[in-house]
Chains A and B, each alone.
Chain A
């Protein structure tokens, strides 16, 4: 009897330890909304609170399961505020942690996932987040004028993309056009023309971005660099005319908010259909039978799993100008579509995991009920204990809504070689205009990032 009491006590204790209040969707809501309405300073306060620190210069002394994710969020917010060095530190720290997590076993989390929730596992970033981490950090280093630091991020990006291809996530490479373009810009800025051309050729192979063709032709004309993969670009047009002392101006504009995960409940019958909608079987025939039996008894009615919620865009990029003249450019990366694609592929597995948990909970309820009935000889007590255990586990089932919620929906680029000297760069976003003064040295370069107004 004492052992059974201990079992129930420990089950309750585990529930308390493993269950979050409302999951990441709830804990990230405040800073996600603040950034979405163009108030990054408020968002920063919210994410610092979630990290358990007072100031943005601080790193949390204790690493929690969500710490790397929260550092990604804070890095994005700091970047929007123009605090590029602090943002780079957060991205770099998160990158190191995610590397370790990629290689970590998670026995406790796996047990929690089986019994309670996907939310109980260590956070492993999906492919698009891994690639965007290095891409956004390249923007930090380039905005700081540190081409060497940006080159390091470019190399890390190449390692990550090779790793993703090796583990069967080669599809993620489709989003590499912008990343490779920025890598090319970084190597060109550092004076390494051949490496720059290789990255531009990677960008071209991944589908290209606005202004890439001109960048390829200009680099070829200036330094003679080439790559067999850009032969078609070089053959299709001449390099734009430019003075020898002209400076390279690249403007990056991040707009909108990427979709975020939120919990949803669906009837069990619909959920079972979802698990094999792509033609792959994820639940065994026995599991499916058991789920249907329990559903018939009225014991299993609903399944919790996360769905993606799109964020309506508040501002559209209207124009990027330098000294009143429009810069060529346009959307270079559709983050929203990438997040949606990746999530859609993951839905059958997520729903299957939820159903497996429901079955585990039902078994735990039945075991507790039988044990209590046998020990006390009281059928009603057994039923109540069984329902209590199962009910507590249902309450603790928080769908895994973790994901990098402060990512932009779209990243646009505009680029032009301009005469050295002072210039006014204007970005028109919806009804809002942002203006920045820049002073470019002869032959110099500058990257300007705009991500505060979403």
Chain B
């Protein structure tokens, strides 16, 4: 009987060690795949939350009402979309690019404003970098906006507060987005969205 008692945990150990092999699956076949978090970075669900909160706020803002008014008067409001600066402890630049692409899509399809192609912006920025050398400041968005012929630019920053303890790692994200009028520097819209990711025992 004592031997059996010794054997039981060892049997459990032997069975536990060889794991099942991984298999590729589709999100459409396994809807839960998009539900659980796999890291403290940003995933599809996080991006949708951040986008929905910001896009809803923007679409209800005075900035969009102003663009609609301009459109009724036959004037064309032009907006440039600049990158969201990653000031976090996670490598999320590609996810932030995806977030901006979602904004671009929403603004283009709204028909309220003319969106300047982001590829064209990259070319211009590179050209300015070559022309101005040491004087070029990629953080001077107003200067870039003027060069692009934009009246507004959409930009943002994401910060985090990240901590690690003996049994938990937590990252709190704070995304700030703004629409700024190029000529005056006035902030026409601003919103903050936040979310928290963690690794807990």
Contact = CB atoms under 8 A, between A and B. Distances in A.
Interface of A: 3-4, 6-7, 10-11, 13-14, 17, 61-62, 92, 96, 99-100, 102-105, 108, 111, 148-149, 151-152, 155-156, 158-160, 162-163, 166-167, 191, 244-245, 367, 371, 420, 441-444
Contact of A155 (B14, B88, B135, B137): B88
A323 to B, nearest CB: 20
Nearest to A191: B139
Contact of B14 (A14, A163, A420, A442): A14
Chain B interface size, as a band, is 35 or more
Nearest to B139: A191
A441 B13 contact: no
B134 interface: yes
B10 A103 contact: no
Given A7-B7, A245-B134, 10 more contacts: A62-B19, A99-B199, A111-B13, A148-B86, A159-B162, A162-B163, A166-B165, A166-B166, A371-B3, A442-B133
Interface in B104-138: 129-130, 133-138
Contacts of B166: 103, 166-167
A163 B169 CA distance: 10
B21 interface: yes
A14 B133 contact: no
B16 A441 contact: no
A103 B167 contact: yes
B201 interface: yes
B164 A3 contact: no
A244 B3 CA distance: 81
24 contacts: A3-B3, A3-B4, A10-B7, A10-B10, A14-B10, A17-B18, A61-B22, A62-B22, A100-B199, A103-B166, A103-B167, A103-B169, A103-B200, A148-B86, A155-B89, A156-B89, A159-B163, A160-B164, A163-B164, A166-B165, A166-B166, A420-B134, A442-B133, A443-B133
B4 A92 contact: no
Contacts of B1: 3
B13 A14 contact: yes
B201 A152 contact: no
Interface string B14-31: 101111011000000000
B186 interface: no
Contact of A62 (B2, B16, B21, B136): B21
Contact of B3 (A7, A17, A166, A167): A7
B93 interface: yes
A11 B3 CA distance: 12
A441 B128 CA distance: 13
Interface string B81-109: 00001111111010000000000000000
Contacts of A420: 133-134
For the complex of A and B, the 8 pairs showing the least CB-CB separation, nearest first, are A443-B134, A442-B133, A155-B89, A10-B10, A442-B134, A163-B164, A3-B3, A3-B4
Contacts of A10: 7, 10-11, 13-14
A92 B91 contact: yes
Contacts of B134: 244-245, 420, 441-444
A223 to B, nearest CB: 13
A148 B93 contact: yes
Given A166-B165, A167-B166, A149 B91 contact: yes
Contacts of A444: 134
A367 B3 CA distance: 9
A66 to B, nearest CB: 15
A237 B13 CA distance: 65
Contacts of B32: none
Contact of A152 (B89, B168, B169): B89
Highest count of chain A CB atoms <10 Å: which of B87, B129, B135: B87
Contacts of A11: 10
A397 to B, nearest CB: 17
B89 to A, nearest CB: 4
B31 to A, nearest CB: 24
A377 B120 CA distance: 89
Highest count of chain A CB atoms <10 Å: which of B3, B39, B168, B169: B3
